[in-house]
C-alpha cells in the first residue's frame, strides 16, 4: 500500500476519537491560561529516567496576585525574575508581566507507558548488547494507556480509556536499510530513516465487540503496539520519540479527527433501518394491493358507482399533490438565492486570493471572470511581477543569505546552466560556482542575458503550481455558474409541475363525472392490472434481495444494543478527553491544556537532521510537515 494511502487510512481510523479534533480546556470563566508540556526522558527500554514539567501562565491583564496550583517540586522561574510565594500546592505570583514560564520535577505516573524491545535475527536482546552488530533488526514499541475508567454498557461494566492522540517516531541511522513499518510511514533522507505512527492507545479494547466485522479494517490502525523492521550493519543506537495530547492541534498538526461523525453514523444506521423497514412494508402492501386490483377489475365492470367513488378519491389525492407542489414551489426563490449566494461566496474567495497574490486589482464578476483569468494566463507584466514576488519570498525562506536582487542571476543560471532548474541554480549561487560570477558579468553588460533572465522568469511562472491552480479556478467557476443555472432550471420545472398539477386537478373533477366512459375500457385495464401485479411482485422480491445482500449487511451488522453501547462509550471517552486538561495541577479558574513528550536519552540532533534532509528531498510532502512539527516538540 502506498504511504499516502496508509496515512489517510490511519487518519480515518482516528475519527473514532471524537473529541480529538477539539483542544481540551477547563470549563468556566478563566482569569488566566495555563499550558503544560510534560517532558519525559526514557531509558533505551522505554522506562522513565526523569520527568520535567514546563508551565506557561498567561493573562493579558498581568499576573499580579494570581493564584496557581501545582504538585511540582524544585520549581524554577525560567524566563524572568518574577517572584512567587508558595503554600503547599498553591503558588501566588507577584508580577505585572503577562507571561510567566517555570519548570519543576515530578515522579507522578505518566498517562502512557512505553516499553521498547529489540530483537536481532529473531532473538530478543538488550539494546546495549546489539550495538555494533549486523542482521535483521526488529524494534517494538508497546503503548499502555493508564488513563482508564469503567462505564456500564447494556448492563455490563466495560473499561474505557481517555483517547489521547499519540505520535511515535523511530529514527534509524545510515546503518539501516530495507526499513518497513506496518501501520506507519517511512521517510528516508540522505543518512537516516524515520518510521512514524499516529495511534490511539487503548481505544481498540474500549471499542471491542461494538464495531461490525465490515469495519474491522479500521481497528487495524488503533494500535497499542507498533513495529519497525530493518536490515542493519554495524548497528548504531536509534532514537525513539513519543508525543501525546488531547488534540492534534497540540501536536502541531491539522485538525482532521471528528468523533461526532461516528455518533452521526450510529444515528444514521437507525434511520436507515427504519426507512428500509417502511419501504419493505410499502412494497408488501403494494403487492397485496395490485393482487386485489387484478381480482377486482372484473367486478369493476359492474361497479360504475365504485369507480365514481374512486374518481372522487383521485380528485382528493390530486388536491394533496397540488398542495405539496405549491409548498415546494414556494421555496423556489430561497433555493435560487441560496445557490447564487454559494456561487458569490466562491467568487469572493477567488477574488481575495487573486488580490492577495497581486494578480488583480479589481474584483472579477460573473460576466468577466473568464476574460480576467485569461488575461492573467497571458503572462502579462502584473502576472510576472506577482510570480517574481512569490519566488523572491520562497527563495528568502529557503536561503536567507540570498538577496532580492539576486533573483535575476538565479533565473539566468537556471536558463543557461541547469535546464530551467531554479533549485540547482540557487545551489550554484550558494556554492559560489564560477559560472555564477560569469553570469553576473553577463547580466551587467548584456541585453541578451537580461532577456534570458526575463524569459526564464516567464517560464518558471507559467509552469508554476499557482498558474495551474488559476487554470483550474477558471474551470471551477464555470462549473459553479452552470450549477446556478441548473438550479434555476430546476425551480422553473417545479413551477411548471405545480401548474400542471392544478390543471390535472381540474380534469379530475370532469373524470368523476365521466366514469361511464371508462366503463368500456375496464377489459383493457384488467390486462394492465395483471402486468402491474407481476411488476409489484418483482419489486417486492428485489427489495428483499437488496435488503438481505446490501442494507442488512450495513445496518444489521450492529444491533440496537451495539449501537447504544458504541454511542455510550464514545460519549464517555469524549467527556474524559474534554476533562483531561492538566497533569501537575491547575486552579479551577484557569483555562488549561497539557501535552506529553517522551524521548530516549540520546540527543534529538539525528531527528532534526533527518527532518531537514527530508525537506530537501521532498519539499511540501505532508509527512515532512507533520514530522518537522513533531520533532520540534522534542528539543529539550
3-state SS record for 603-629:
CCHHHHHHHHHHHHHCCCCHHHHHHHH
Residue 424 lies in a domain: yes
Residue 120 is predicted with a pLDDT of: 96
Q: Sheet of 83-87: strands edge to edge? A: 66-69, 90-94, 83-87
Residue 479 is predicted with a pLDDT of: 87
Please name the residue that has the C-alpha cell 518510521.
195
Residue 180 lies in a domain: yes
**Structure confidence at residue 13 as a pLDDT band (50, 70, 90):** very low
pTM of full prediction above 0.85: no
Residue 547 backbone class (left: φ over 0; alpha: ψ -120 to 50; beta: rest): alpha
Number of domains making up the chain = 2
233 or 284, which is more confident: 233
Residue 132 is predicted with a pLDDT of: 95
Residue 503 lies in a domain: no
Dist. CA 495–CA 501, nearest whole Å: 10
Residue 279 is predicted with a pLDDT of: 61
Q: Sheet of 176-180: strands edge to edge? A: 123-125, 112-120, 135-145, 225-232, 176-180
Residue 328 is predicted with a pLDDT of: 72
Dist. CA 611–CA 188, nearest whole Å: 10
Dist. CA 168–CA 191, nearest whole Å: 20
- Tally of CB atoms within 10 A around 31: 15
Cα distances (Å, whole numbers) of residue 121 to 118, 132, 133, 137, 229: 10, 14, 11, 6, 10
- pLDDT tops 70 at residue 169: yes
**Structure confidence at residue 276 as a pLDDT band (50, 70, 90):** low
Residue 11 lies in a domain: no
- pLDDT tops 60 at residue 264: no
DSSP annotation of 593 reads E
| C-alpha cell belonging to residue 507 | 380534469
Dist. CA 627–CA 624, nearest whole Å: 5
Residue 617 lies in a domain: no
**Structure confidence at residue 418 as a pLDDT band (50, 70, 90):** confident
Residue 369 lies in a domain: yes
Residue 319 lies in a domain: no
**Is 36 in contact with 595 (CB distance < 8 Å)?**
yes
What's the mean pLDDT when you consider all of the chain? 76
Residue 188 lies in a domain: yes
Q: What is the pLDDT of residues 564-620, one digit of tens each?
A: 788 888 888 888 988 998 999 999 888 999 999 999 876 544 445 544 444 443 444
List, in order, residues 6 or more apart from 408 with CB less than 8 Å away: 443, 450, 453
Range of the domain at 187: 109-244
Q: What does residue 59 show for φ and ψ, rounded to 5 degrees?
A: -150, 125
Return the bridge partners of 150, or none. Answer: 159
**Structure confidence at residue 15 as a pLDDT band (50, 70, 90):** very low
Q: End of a domain among 490, 520, 554?
A: 490
Amino acid at each position: 500500500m502506498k504511504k499516502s494511502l496508509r496515512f489517510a487510512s490511519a487518519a480515518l481510523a482516528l475519527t473514532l476519537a471524537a473529541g480529538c479534533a477539539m483542544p481540551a480546556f477547563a470549563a468556566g470563566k478563566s482569569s488566566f491560561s495555563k499550558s503544560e508540556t510534560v517532558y519525559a526522558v526514557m531509558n533505551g527500554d522505554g522506562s522513565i529516567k526523569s520527568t520535567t514539567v514546563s508551565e506557561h501562565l498567561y493573562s493579558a491583564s498581568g499576573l499580579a496576585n494570581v493564584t496557581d496550583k501545582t504538585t511540582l517540586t524544585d520549581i524554577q522561574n525560567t524566563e524572568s525574575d518574577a517572584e512567587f510565594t508558595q503554600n503547599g500546592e498553591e503558588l501566588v505570583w507577584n508580577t505585572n508581566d503577562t507571561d510567566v514560564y517555570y519548570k519543576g520535577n515530578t515522579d507522578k505516573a505518566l498517562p502512557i507507558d512505553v516499553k521498547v524491545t529489540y530483537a536481532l535475527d529473531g532473538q530478543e536482546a538488550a539494546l546495549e548488547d546489539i550495538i555494533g552488530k549486523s542482521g535483521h533488526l526488529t524494534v517494538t514499541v508497546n503503548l499502555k494507556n493508564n488513563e482508564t475508567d469503567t462505564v456500564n454498557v447494556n448492563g455490563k461494566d466495560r473499561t474505557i480509556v481517555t483517547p489521547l492522540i499519540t505520535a511515535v517516531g523511530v529514527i534509524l541511522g545510515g546503518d539501516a536499510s530495507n526499513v518497513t513499518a506496518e501501520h506507519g510511514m517511512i521517510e528516508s533522507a540522505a543518512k537516516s530513516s524515520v518510521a512514524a505512527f499516529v495511534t490511539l492507545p487503548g481505544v481498540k479494547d474500549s471499542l471491542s465487540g461494538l464495531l461490525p466485522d465490515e469495519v474491522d479494517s479500521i481497528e487495524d490502525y488503533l494500535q497499542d503496539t507498533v513495529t519497525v523492521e530493518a536490515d542493519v550493519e554495524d548497528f548504531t543506537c536509534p532514537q525513539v520519540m513519543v508525543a501525546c495530547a488531547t488534540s492534534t492541534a497540540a501536536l502541531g498538526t491539522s485538525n482532521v479527527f471528528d468523533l461526532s461523525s461516528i455518533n452521526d453514523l450510529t444515528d444514521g444506521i437507525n434511520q436507515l433501518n427504519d426507512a428500509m423497514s417502511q419501504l419493505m412494508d410499502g412494497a408488501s402492501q403494494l403487492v397485496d394491493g395490485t393482487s386485489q386490483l387484478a381480482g377486482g377489475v372484473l367486478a369493476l365492470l359492474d361497479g360504475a358507482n365504485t369507480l365514481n367513488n374512486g374518481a372522487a378519491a383521485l380528485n382528493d389525492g390530486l388536491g394533496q399533490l397540488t398542495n405539496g407542489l405549491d409548498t415546494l414551489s414556494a421555496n423556489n426563490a430561497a433555493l435560487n438565492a441560496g445557490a447564487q449566494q454559494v456561487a458569490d461566496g466562491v467568487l469572493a474567495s477567488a477574488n481575495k486570493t487573486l488580490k492577495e497574490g497581486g494578480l488583480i486589482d479589481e474584483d472579477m464578476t460573473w460576466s468577466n471572470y473568464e476574460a480576467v483569468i485569461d488575461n492573467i494566463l497571458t503572462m502579462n507584466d502584473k502576472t510576472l511581477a506577482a510570480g517574481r514576488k512569490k519566488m523572491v519570498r520562497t527563495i528568502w525562506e529557503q536561503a536567507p543569505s540570498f538577496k532580492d536582487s539576486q533573483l535575476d542571476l538565479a533565473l539566468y543560471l537556471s536558463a543557461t546552466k541547469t535546464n530551467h532548474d531554479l533549485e540547482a541554480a540557487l545551489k550554484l549561487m550558494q556554492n559560489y560556482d564560477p559560472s555564477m560570477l560569469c553570469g553576473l558579468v553577463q547580466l551587467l553588460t548584456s541585453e541578451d542575458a537580461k532577456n534570458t533572465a526575463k524569459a526564464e522568469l516567464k517560464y518558471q511562472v507559467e509552469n508554476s503550481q499557482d498558474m495551474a491552480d488559476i487554470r483550474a479556478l477558471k474551470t471551477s467557476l464555470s462549473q459553479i455558474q452552470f450549477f446556478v443555472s441548473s438550479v434555476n432550471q430546476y425551480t422553473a420545472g417545479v413551477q411548471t409541475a405545480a401548474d400542471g398539477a392544478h390543471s390535472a386537478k381540474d380534469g379530475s373533477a370532469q373524470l368523476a363525472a365521466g366514469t361511464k366512459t371508462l366503463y368500456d375500457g375496464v377489459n383493457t385495464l384488467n390486462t394492465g392490472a395483471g402486468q402491474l401485479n407481476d411488476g409489484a411482485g418483482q419489486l417486492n422480491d428485489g427489495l428483499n434481495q437488496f435488503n438481505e445482500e446490501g442494507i442488512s449487511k450495513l445496518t444489521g451488522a450492529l444491533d440496537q444494543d451495539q449501537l447504544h453501547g458504541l454511542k455510550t462509550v464514545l460519549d464517555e471517552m469524549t467527556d474524559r478527553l474534554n476533562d483531561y486538561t492538566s497533569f501537575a495541577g491547575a486552579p479551577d479558574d484557569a483555562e488549561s491544556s497539557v501535552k506529553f513528550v517522551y524521548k530516549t536519552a540520546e540527543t534529538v540532533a539525528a531527528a532534526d537532521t533527518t527532518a531537514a534532509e527530508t525537506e530537501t528531498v521532498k519539499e511540501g510532502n505532508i509527512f515532512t510537515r507533520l514530522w518537522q512539527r513533531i520533532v520540534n516538540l522534542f528539543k529539550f
